[in-house]
Chains A and B, each alone.
Chain A
Amino acid sequence: MKNSTKTYLDYNATTPVDERVLEAMIPFFTWSFGNASSKDHIFGWESADAVDVAREQVADLIGATANEIYFTSGATEAINLGLRGFCSANKSEGNHIITCKTEHKAVLETCQSLEESGFDVTYLDVGQNGDVDLTELESSISSETLLVCLMHANNETGVINPVKEIAELCRSKGVPFFSDATQSVGKLPVDVKEIGADMIAFSSHKLYGPKGAGGLYITGENKPTINPLFTGGGQEKGLRPGTLNVPAIVGFGKACEICENELVADAERHIDLRNYIEEKLIELFDVSINGNSKDRLPQTTNVQFRNIDSTHLLRRLRNLAVSRGSACSSATSQPSHVLTAMGLSADEAMSSIRIGLGRFTTHKDVESAIREFEDVIPQLKPVAG
């Protein structure tokens, strides 16, 4: 995907809408604009029908059934609904939540807010590769533990958590397991039944769908009780009231359908491209890969340019869009909480950038990215250290 001469390699932040997705959405902006909750005419029926189809497309991608999918405005809302909604409905059962220091801000900030309302939160440490210690997880679970919340794949490093083992551990302790799978759904084959998670949050715009749609999967087997965050017209079985964003949901569905058909081939191609870019950068510069030795997303790499200030690097990379990590915190110049949790110093974290490949990334894009680094890095002054 090109913006004149610029190359976009920040697919973990967001993805362009696939043209096939856009095509599926367009009628729902214009002539098929009905409210999916309108029961008395064809405009409403058509929209409701389109939402039904989308719900199945989304469910199919993650191995769920359609009635286990709840549409939200995005992953952040799905996470808030899952965490706050569950905790508020089950607070009599316990007041302890377990999560991890490398989670996305949507989880961390929500947990902090729950702490303010009286819940205890354990933030697990990670090893230098970003891996969660399952023994530490197990010993953290107490009779008060209400929920374990651990992401599937990390948004900055692409490091993949052993969610199946985590789910098994949680089940053996009788504690529900919530997973933020925003980065993995659409990039990896995700089967919620195989994983065994009770709730999973994910988003449309990370998988070539539009912004403004997300999903919360809630298992239908021993379905957990969840309170809605707000009240309204009873949409999404009363859990997420509000007029459905039909065009975005239709696009989300179509995007999931395409991912289901193409993700394996995309992933194989991305691994080749990522290996190539990593090998080239290691060959050309003094770099190391953060989280390298763990299972990672096929299209993500987090590269530390030793003694280079990534802020300066990013400003110089005029024809290349890469980032310092989470899109949510990149307005501030704080070192990444994910990388520092992995044991990197503030300087090392500040020397790291994330490269995210995607469906429209070509070998030529990767070549021009490498050329751009070759042009820019010699111009940068090494920082002290």
Chain B
Amino acid sequence: MRESDAILESYDESVKNGLRTILATVVHVKGSSYRAAGARMLVDEYGYMTGAISGGCLEGDALRKALLALEQNRNKLVTYDTSDEDDAVIGAQLGCNGIIQVLFEPVDPANDLNPVELLRRANNKNKTYALASIFNLNKREHQQGTSLLIDETGSITSETNDESLSEAIYDVAVSTIKKRVNHFGEYVSKSGTQHAFIDVIPPPHSLVLVGAGNDSQVLSEMARHLGWSVTVADGRPSHANEKRFSNCQVVVANPESILDDIEINESTAVVLMTHNYNYDLAVLKLLLDFNELTYIGILGPNKKHRRMFRDLRNEGIILNEKHHAKIYAPVGLQVGAETPAEIGLSILSEIQAVLTGSDVKHLREIDGSIHQKDQYQFEKVQL
């Protein structure tokens, strides 16, 4: 389950039981940390935590800060400096060396634009969103909180009454969504300085498995652990059914019509693995028309996809560079995979890398931050 899904579920449960909650969000990191900005954690009034803002070293103290924010009923910004190994309070024994800013926000269920509800809106659609958390590095100042949601069409949901700030963040967010990179801004006006973290939240990864064999079954289970939504499509009801694929959308259809009911966007990966050459070929032909699709994996040896390309060419369908760029055949990374689960790992690793735009390499080969979203410099914006 995705962290945000878990947070929303836990929030709904808490509200149902009349429990108050606080949302903690990592809004800035300087140096290295276990979790990047955008990590979130929900704490209920009993101290039960869903999600995580660190590898565990901050959670103990964060719990007390969360409960204090709840008691005081106001947002709080807390700095964790994990560079000091002698600090037993946060016990930063991971060897992290970073300064982490965490925003704690008591959540008011009566407000349907509270931070969790904004997160729900950002989480629940087929679009990419920018969720802005406004804070002030001077902790003695008012911490406005998570209060602006902008979608890729430019539509805005706002919980702030500071219009000039809101407009400035809006402008930044629109370009931030396009670039798909989080943004840290320092907004300077005559009345003072505010900071905002703009978290770009793409649609959840979705995986379309064409083929409902036993290897698909393993792959679907593994993908569910990652919080991806999984659709399984096959022509055989004996294979593609809810019993074999619980928690998946199951589509039983001819290859020509299987994509009719499947949502495909930039966060979708499709893997052709029916073990039926003609079925896979027919679906591949349809997929070539989906420009937003960035990943098509084809299970099978080189011989198979070369034959597919040849047969398409014979039909007058010439694959262009863009097509070739998104086709991963044979599917998967070289990780020595043999068993169905190992092959699943190889395929999912490749999809994760492609959908997040990451170069595949050992982390030890990387200098600096190992997080993708590592552009943590505050950009100055004059209001």
Binding site for B on A (CB under 8 A): 39, 42, 45-46, 48-49, 52-53, 56, 65-67, 220, 223, 234, 237-239
Q: How far is the CA of A42 from the CA of B81 in the complex (A)?
A: 23
Q: How far is the CA of A109 from the CA of B223 in the complex (A)?
A: 69
How many inter-chain contacts with C-beta < 8 Å in the A-B complex?
41
Contact with A along B289-310 (1 / 0, CB 8 A): 0000000000000000000000
Q: Are B84 and A48 in contact (CB under 8 A)?
A: no
Show 21 residue pairs from A and B whose CB-CB distance is below 8 angstroms, ordered by the A residue.
A39-B64, A45-B71, A46-B68, A46-B72, A49-B68, A56-B139, A65-B81, A66-B79, A66-B81, A67-B81, A67-B83, A67-B84, A67-B87, A220-B83, A223-B84, A223-B86, A237-B86, A237-B89, A238-B86, A238-B88, A239-B86
**A52-B78, A56-B139, A66-B81 known; A237+B67 contact, CB < 8 A:** no
Q: How far is the CA of A56 from the CA of B71 in the complex (A)?
A: 23
- Residue in B68, B76, B83, B87 whose beta carbon sits within 8 Å of that of A42 in the complex: B68
Q: A237-B88, A239-B86 are in contact. List 18 more A-B contacts (CB 8 A).
A: A42-B71, A45-B64, A45-B65, A45-B68, A45-B71, A46-B68, A48-B64, A49-B65, A49-B76, A53-B140, A56-B79, A56-B139, A66-B79, A66-B81, A67-B83, A67-B84, A238-B86, A238-B88
Q: Are A53 and B86 in contact (CB under 8 A)?
A: no
Provide the residues of chain B in CB contact with A53, threshold 8 Å: 139-140
Min Cβ gap A65→B in Å is 6
Provide the residues of chain A in CB contact with B79, threshold 8 Å: 56, 66
Min Cβ gap B4→A in Å is 27
Q: Are A237 and B64 in contact (CB under 8 A)?
A: no
Q: How far is the CA of A52 from the CA of B61 in the complex (A)?
A: 12
Residues of chain B from 217 to 246 with CB closer than 8 A to chain A in the complex: none
Min Cβ gap B52→A in Å is 20
Q: Are B67 and A42 in contact (CB under 8 A)?
A: yes
Q: Are B84 and A220 in contact (CB under 8 A)?
A: yes
Min Cβ gap B30→A in Å is 10
Closest to A239 in B: B86
Q: Are A237 and B87 in contact (CB under 8 A)?
A: yes
Provide the residues of chain B in CB contact with A234, threshold 8 Å: 88
Whether B8 is near chain A, meaning CB under 8 Å from some CB there, is no
Min Cβ gap A219→B in Å is 11
Whether B96 is near chain A, meaning CB under 8 Å from some CB there, is no
Q: How far is the CA of A237 from the CA of B84 in the complex (A)?
A: 10
Q: Which 3 A-B pairs have the closest CB atoms?
A: A45-B68, A67-B81, A67-B84
Q: How far is the CA of A231 from the CA of B135 in the complex (A)?
A: 39
Chain A, interface SS category: helix
Q: How far is the CA of A45 from the CA of B72 in the complex (A)?
A: 11
Contact with A along B92-131 (1 / 0, CB 8 A): 0000000100000000000000000000000000000000
Closest to B140 in A: A53
Most buried by B among A48, A52, A67, A223: A67
Closest to A37 in B: B89
Residues of chain B from 130 to 177 with CB closer than 8 A to chain A in the complex: 139-140
Closest to B60 in A: A39
Provide the residues of chain B in CB contact with A56, threshold 8 Å: 79, 139
Q: How far is the CA of A56 from the CA of B80 in the complex (A)?
A: 12
Q: How far is the CA of A381 from the CA of B80 in the complex (A)?
A: 64
Provide the residues of chain A in CB contact with B64, threshold 8 Å: 39, 45, 48
Closest to B90 in A: A67
Q: How far is the CA of A45 from the CA of B88 in the complex (A)?
A: 17
Closest to B64 in A: A45
Provide the residues of chain B in CB contact with A39, threshold 8 Å: 64
Min Cβ gap B65→A in Å is 7
Min Cβ gap A243→B in Å is 15
Closest to B84 in A: A67
Provide the residues of chain B in CB contact with A67, threshold 8 Å: 81, 83-84, 87
Provide the residues of chain A in CB contact with B86, threshold 8 Å: 223, 237-239
**A53-B139, A65-B81 known; A45+B87 contact, CB < 8 A:** no
Provide the residues of chain B in CB contact with A49, threshold 8 Å: 65, 68, 76
Q: Are B140 and A45 in contact (CB under 8 A)?
A: no
Q: How far is the CA of A39 from the CA of B78 in the complex (A)?
A: 17
Q: How far is the CA of A53 from the CA of B78 in the complex (A)?
A: 10
Q: How far is the CA of A223 from the CA of B87 in the complex (A)?
A: 13
Min Cβ gap A227→B in Å is 12
Closest to A56 in B: B139
Min Cβ gap A364→B in Å is 34
Min Cβ gap A126→B in Å is 36
Min Cβ gap B200→A in Å is 29
Q: How far is the CA of A49 from the CA of B77 in the complex (A)?
A: 11
Min Cβ gap A193→B in Å is 14
Min Cβ gap B327→A in Å is 50
Most buried by B among A39, A42, A45, A53: A45
Provide the residues of chain B in CB contact with A52, threshold 8 Å: 78
Contact with A along B38-74 (1 / 0, CB 8 A): 0000000000000000000000000011011001100
Q: How far is the CA of A239 from the CA of B68 in the complex (A)?
A: 26
Min Cβ gap B252→A in Å is 56
Most buried by A among B65, B72, B84: B84
Closest to B63 in A: A39
